[in-house]
Structure 1
Amino acid sequence: MQALRNLFVCFLLFSFLRISTTSTLDTITPSRYIRDGETLVSAGGSFELGFFSPGASEGRYLGIWYTFDTKAVVWVANRETPLGDSSGVLKVTEQGVLVLLNTSNRIVWSSNSSTTAGNPVSQLLDSGNLVVKDGNETNPDKFLWQSFDYPCDTFLPEMKLGWDSSTGLDRYVSSWRSTEDPAPGEFSLRMDRRGFPQFDTMKGAKIMATAGSWNGIYFTAYPYPPQTRENQILGYKFVLDKDEIYYEYRLLNRSMFSRYVLNPSGTAQRFTWVHQTHSWELSSTLQADQCQNYALCGAYTSCNMNVSPSCACLKGFVPKSPKDWNSGYWSGGCVRKIPLACSYGDDFLKYTGVKLPDTSSSWFDKSMSLKECKGLCLKNCSCTAYANLDIREGGTGCLLWFGNLTDIRQFNPGGGQDLYVRMAASELDGIEKKSKFNREKLLGILISSAVFLVGTLITGLILYIYGRRNSEIKESEA
């Protein structure tokens, strides 16, 4: 009997040890670390942290991926310093610093926390954010370090992209070098703080495409109606104050998963997980057509994918090099037919439904009215255009441009916003007269067509009546 009791106790103890060693953890402490082959799983079960080798690569990396798709890696710690074998260990020190150690117990990668904690822990949150914090601290502003501050090629919900002015931290996305090498590639998606901030896709130091500036609802390069599927899935936030300039998005439905990825070719794409097919669906591509190539048409032009050729000079402008322009080389742009007269005699021509020009040479004011904005632009000889900073509630704020206007795009009716381009008064008179002539010409054509149609109908009716009357006369005579 005693033997059976002992056997039962041993069985319970074995079961307890087995459960405790195989149960998932989302936290490590100075006394509890993970080795290659072990993982952390976030409390909600969405994300997993561990060691992996991308593709055919033999290097070992510490990364974070979705639990339901281990190939969808969203963050890598040692991007440029892969481990040569499977002996990696991830620890958090007593000072609150994450360290990745190799087989020689040397530090391959570490977090750069400058503050310490009395009870440091590192936890994988269900947002995909790996954090170092003091004990049970939940306030993100008090975290010692977080992976969301150091994105790789993936922009996740609740992650900030932009600048922290108080610390100088620049949060930006950078592509992998290749599908098997997570080292930073040549492409990046980052905030341009010159003038009014905008998001640029860069190849090295060269701008390849720009999402444009934020107008209170969307980035001007990607307008969408208020009631779209995009708005029903995602919520957007843009913050611009003395401490921070950043953009983030959130999932309105917590059961969904969505991510932006900047691939090794420099294309930014948004994917949404489809539970029914167990696969990622491509929801949008930031560089979807030719007009999204930065400054494709040069200065003082607009790009329109619905016409051919796509590039056209703004009204009152002509190609700088007609020969290049006619041969399809548009980057030289256009120049004014009539020079500006500075503040004397200048006015503005309104364009509707456009992507606003590159804002790197702009100035803005959040409280100024559109009328005040126009007056301020007229007083400055270098000011070439103005627009509302925010298009919500009828429009507020002022955005002024100085110098050349580049990267304007014409959208279909209902898309884009209004832009007011400075013109010489005499040029405006000519444009208005031409527009009036065209309207009168069109009206004349419509009137002539209507008269011709009515005349044709009347003539046909007369002939019909005359023919029928003759038939009736012939029938009566018979």
Structure 2
Amino acid sequence: DGHRLVIWSTNLSTQSPANSTVLAELLDSGNLVMKDSNTDAYLWESFEYPTDSWLPNMLVGTNAKTGGGNITITSWKTPSDPSPGSYTAALVLAAYPEIHIVNNNNKNATMWRSGPWNVTMSFANDSTLRHFYLDYKGSVIRRDWSEAKRNWTVGDQVPATECDVYRRCGQFPTCNPLKAPPCSCFKGFSPRNFVEWNSGNSSGGCIRKEPLQCERQNSNGSAADGFMRLRRVKLPDFARRSEASEPECLRTCLQTCSCVAFAHGLGYGCMTWNLVVF
């Protein structure tokens, strides 16, 4: 700036040999790189230090060059102020990788989660210009370049509905944005607090109407515990992972009284959830 203070720098950790030149090049992918003129080796690249956008072919994960921390994108403060805003999005490497959007002003509270990933994404036409960005309100938005219209068109965005909000309905509910109110308890469950639930506050979630057989003092004559199949629902958070087969996964969950659900699928393996009290 005018006082000769450095506002921003690539802060290179790799030094180029004394007899070589460092070149800056903006690639067709949108990646700004600094490279050694003799070897073409990248000394620094912007794709490893994103701002508010993810571009095709940009890696999403942890960055060894920054101490192993997650590669995050950060929203602008306002539509016209590019300084760091209130929201960040990053890949969370738990039992299964997930994208989380968090509110930095609310103790890094999770606002949205993608659910576990077991696939990668690519485009049939690499010439298509597309990118995802985190706007100042905390939404990740996809934009596509229209060559015919010569402008950007807005595609999908998340969160898309109120049901996308993290823990919108608490534990053991389902959320349907087409219903009013959107939250309802699974079969065999009822609201934890009817007064709050009926007033529109469903954050307390639902509780089981009847205890599991393994929870009862006397289970003589009671039906054996089993499972109800659920479809078209996002898998819950905090899964435990194993490579057990589907029958083994089911059996393990049944034999563990704190286990309340399981899932099994290609790319996921065995996923189990144990009761967590909030």
TM-score normalised over the length of structure 1: 0.51
Which residue in 1 is equivalent to 2:185? Answer: 313
Which residue in 2 is equivalent to 1:329? Answer: 201
Supply the distance in 2 between the matched residues of 1:378 and 1:112 (Cα, whole angstroms): 54
Given that 1:299 and 1:404 are in contact with CA atoms closer than 8 Å, whether structure 2 keeps it comes out as no
Amino acid of the residue matched to residue 161 of structure 1?
V
Q: Kindly indicate whether residue 6 of structure 2 is the aligned counterpart of residue 116 of structure 1.
A: no
**Aligned 1:257-336 pairs, distance under 5 A:** 257-336=129-208
Of 142, 149, 153, the residue aligned with 2:52 is: 153
Of 252, 259, 267, the residue aligned with 1:383 is: 259
Q: Number of residue pairs matched? A: 264
What is the CA deviation profile of residues 88-142 of structure 1, one whole-angstrom value per residue up to 9, with x for unaligned ones?
xxxxxxxxxxxxxx4555433222332222233332211111122223656xxx6
What is the CA deviation profile of residues 321-343 of structure 1, one whole-angstrom value per residue up to 9, with x for unaligned ones?
01111111111101111223449
Given that 2:87 and 2:136 are in contact with CA atoms closer than 8 Å, whether structure 1 keeps it comes out as yes
Given that 2:131 and 2:143 are in contact with CA atoms closer than 8 Å, whether structure 1 keeps it comes out as yes
Supply the distance in 2 between the matched residues of 1:264 and 1:130 (Cα, whole angstroms): 24
**Aligned 1:96-135 pairs, distance under 5 A:** 102-103=1-2, 105-118=4-17, 119=20, 120-135=22-37
**Aligned 1:6-405 pairs, distance under 5 A:** 102-103=1-2, 105-118=4-17, 119=20, 120-135=22-37, 137=39, 143-164=42-63, 167-204=67-104, 205-216=108-119, 237=120, 249-342=121-214, 345-358=224-237, 361-365=238-242, 367-390=243-266, 397-404=269-276
**3-state SS of paired residue (1:283):** strand
Question: How far 1:153 sits from its partner (Å)?
Answer: 0.9
Supply the distance in 2 between the matched residues of 1:178 and 1:157 (Cα, whole angstroms): 25
**3-state SS of paired residue (2:231):** strand
**3-state SS of paired residue (1:386):** strand
Supply the distance in 2 between the matched residues of 1:165 and 1:107 (Cα, whole angstroms): 25
Moved over 6 A (4+): none
Question: How far 1:389 sits from its partner (Å)?
Answer: 4.5
Given that 1:300 and 1:405 are in contact with CA atoms closer than 8 Å, whether structure 2 keeps it comes out as no
Given that 1:342 and 1:378 are in contact with CA atoms closer than 8 Å, whether structure 2 keeps it comes out as no
Query: 5+ residue gaps in structure 1?
Result: 1-101, 217-236, 238-248, 407-478
Given that 1:388 and 1:398 are in contact with CA atoms closer than 8 Å, whether structure 2 keeps it comes out as yes
Kindly name which structure, 1 or 2, has the bigger radius of gyration based on alpha carbons: 1
What is the CA deviation profile of residues 318-364 of structure 1, one whole-angstrom value per residue up to 9, with x for unaligned ones?
10001111111111101111223449943221112221112xx2211
Supply the distance in 1 between the matched residues of 2:116 and 2:103 (Cα, whole angstroms): 19
Supply the distance in 2 between the matched residues of 1:211 and 1:352 (Cα, whole angstroms): 17
Which residue in 2 is equivalent to 1:3? Answer: none
**3-state SS of paired residue (2:58):** coil
Question: How far 1:308 sits from its partner (Å)?
Answer: 3.0
Amino acid of the residue matched to residue 111 of structure 2?
M
**3-state SS of paired residue (1:346):** coil
What is the CA deviation profile of residues 298-324 of structure 1, one whole-angstrom value per residue up to 9, with x for unaligned ones?
110010123332111111111000111
Amino acid of the residue matched to residue 228 of structure 2?
L
Q: Describe the shift of the 1:302–1:163 C-alpha distance in structure 2 as closer, same or farther (beyond 3 A).
A: same
Q: Which of the two has greater helix per residue? A: 1
Q: Describe the shift of the 1:160–1:342 C-alpha distance in structure 2 as closer, same or farther (beyond 3 A).
A: farther
Question: How far 1:147 sits from its partner (Å)?
Answer: 0.9
Q: Describe the shift of the 1:250–1:274 C-alpha distance in structure 2 as closer, same or farther (beyond 3 A).
A: same
Q: What is the root-mean-square deviation of aligned Cα atoms in Å?
A: 2.4
Amino acid of the residue matched to residue 362 of structure 1?
A
Instruction: Determine what percentage of the aligned residue pairs are the same residue.
Output: 35
Given that 1:357 and 1:405 are in contact with CA atoms closer than 8 Å, whether structure 2 keeps it comes out as no
Given that 2:48 and 2:63 are in contact with CA atoms closer than 8 Å, whether structure 1 keeps it comes out as no
Question: How far 1:400 sits from its partner (Å)?
Answer: 1.4
**3-state SS of paired residue (2:110):** strand
Supply the distance in 2 between the matched residues of 1:303 and 1:133 (Cα, whole angstroms): 50
Stretch deviating more after TM superposition (301-310 or 163-172): 163-172
Supply the distance in 1 between the matched residues of 2:131 and 2:110 (Cα, whole angstroms): 23
What is the CA deviation profile of residues 29-64 of structure 1, one whole-angstrom value per residue up to 9, with x for unaligned ones?
xxxxxxxxxxxxxxxxxxxxxxxxxxxxxxxxxxxx
Supply the distance in 1 between the matched residues of 2:174 and 2:43 (Cα, whole angstroms): 47
